[in-house]
């Protein structure tokens, strides 16, 4: 059985947030929702400041607190390491969101149609219709409506219904076809590496043989499957700058 992991090379990441964009397009997430968020940090006082970046997907923890607290087993861990949410089972209690130390969960506060940047773009606009050919969002990646995994549960993509929780799925719909997650595929500098750590020949295994990885908030005991190389763990002296402004 494959065991999927992701390595984030902070020495390569340039903070461009292309991954954030790719994720939103692939998974149709709503306004204000960032399954893949890239922190942009500033350290020190001007003019002695330094910038650093830290991409933050769901860590797909092996000892996931979110899975433990879910009252109905909607949040579950797959054999291959993915931590997924069954949006058909989730009762919307948001307990997983608070149990997660990484802040990667997003609740669907409103219906999908409304959260698709409805207030930002007037989709009925005539000029826009020339470009879209009259196609009115919500655009849906059809792969997101399929069941995945041995368990055959509805787990892929975002924005299916109001009142459930969602988060990064490692693009389960792509992984099951043997493809990389959208963020990994898009990163222009290959700072994200995805693959099967159980197979010694996979690129990620090669990577991990030469670089010593560390994990985010190791002390929380969550055993994340996302590993970082280079850079250094965040600390409270870092100031987050350029936080995404979008609202739900």
Residue 93 or 146: which CB sits closer to ligand SF4? Answer: 93
39 binds other proteins (CB under 8 A): yes
CA count, 13 A, side-chain hemisphere, 66:
31
Q: Choose which of 17, 24, 60, 77 interacts with other proteins (CB under 8 A).
A: 77
Based on its alpha-carbon atoms, the radius of gyration of the chain, rounded to whole angstroms, reads 18
Rounded to whole angstroms, the Cα distance separating 144 from 161 reads: 12
Task: Show the 3-state SS of 142-202.
Answer: HHHHCEECCCCEECCCCCCCCCCEECCCCCHHHHCCCCCCHHHHHCCCCCEEEEECCCCCC
Q: Within 165-204, which residues bind ligand SF4 (CB under 6 A)?
A: 165, 167
Q: Out of 53, 222, 228, 238, which residue is the one contacting ligand SF4 (CB under 6 A)?
A: 222
**Which residue number, 112 or 157, has a Cβ lying nearer to other proteins?**
112
With CB under 8 A as the contact rule, the residue among 110, 118, 132, 205 that binds other proteins is 110
Smallest distance from the beta carbon of 168 to ligand SF4, in angstroms? 7
Stretch near other proteins under the rule CB under 8 A, chosen from 133-141, 205-213, 215-223, 224-232: 215-223
Residue corresponding to tokens 């219906």: 111
Question: According to CB under 6 A, which residues from 54 to 83 bind ligand SF4?
Answer: 58-61, 64-66, 69-72, 74-75, 83
Q: Distance (Å, rounded) from C-alpha 103 to C-alpha 106?
A: 8
Shortest CB 82 distance to ligand SF4, Å: 9
Helices marked H in 191-239? 203-210
Between 64 and 187, name the residue whose CB sits nearer to ligand SF4: 64
Q: Cα(29)–Cα(109) distance, rounded to whole angstroms?
A: 12
Q: Phi and psi at residue 65, in whole multiples of 5°?
A: -65, -30
Q: Which two tokens stand for residue 26?
A: 């692939």
- What binding mask, one character per residue, do residues 142-181 give for other proteins by CB under 8 A, x or -? -------xxx----------xxxx----------------
140 binds, options ligand SF4, other proteins, none, Cβ within 5 to 8 A by partner type = none
Buried b (16+ CB within 10 A) or exposed e, 61-97: beebbbbeebeeebbbbbebbbbbbbbebbeeeebbb
Residue 167 touches which of other proteins, ligand SF4, none (CB < 5 to 8 A by kind)?
ligand SF4
CA distance 248 to 240: 20
Q: Is 90 in the site for ligand SF4 (CB under 6 A)?
A: yes
Point out which residues bind ligand SF4 (CB under 6 A). Answer: 58-61, 64-66, 69-72, 74-75, 83, 85, 90-96, 100, 102, 104-105, 165, 167, 222
């Amino acid at each position: 059985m494959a065991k999927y992991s992701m390595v984030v090379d902070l020495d390569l990441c340039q903070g461009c947030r292309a991954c954030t964009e790719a994720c939103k397009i692939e998974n149709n997430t709503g306004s204000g929702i960032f399954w893949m968020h890239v922190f942009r940090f500033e350290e020190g006082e001007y003019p002695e400041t330094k910038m650093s970046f830290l991409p933050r997907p769901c860590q797909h923890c092996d000892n996931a607190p979110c899975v433990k607290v879910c009252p109905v087993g909607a949040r579950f861990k797959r054999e291959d390491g993915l931590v997924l949410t069954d949006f058909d089972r989730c009762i919307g209690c948001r307990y997983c969101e608070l149990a997660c130390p990484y802040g990667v969960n997003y609740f669907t506060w409103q219906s999908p149609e409304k959260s698709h940047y409805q207030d930002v773009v007037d989709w009925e606009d005539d000029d826009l219709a020339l470009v879209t050919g009259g196609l009115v969002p919500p655009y849906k990646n059809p792969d997101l409506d399929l069941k995945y995994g041995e368990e055959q549960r509805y787990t892929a993509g975002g924005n299916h219904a109001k009142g459930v929780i969602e988060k990064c799925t490692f693009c389960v719909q792509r992984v099951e076809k043997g493809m990389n997650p959208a963020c990994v595929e898009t990163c222009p500098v290959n700072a994200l590496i995805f693959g099967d750590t159980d197979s010694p020949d996979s690129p990620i295994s090669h990577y991990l043989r030469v670089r010593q990885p560390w994990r985010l908030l190791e002390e929380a005991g969550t055993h994340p499957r996302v590993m970082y190389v280079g850079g250094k763990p965040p600390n409270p002296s870092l100031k987050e700058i350029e936080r995404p402004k979008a609202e739900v």
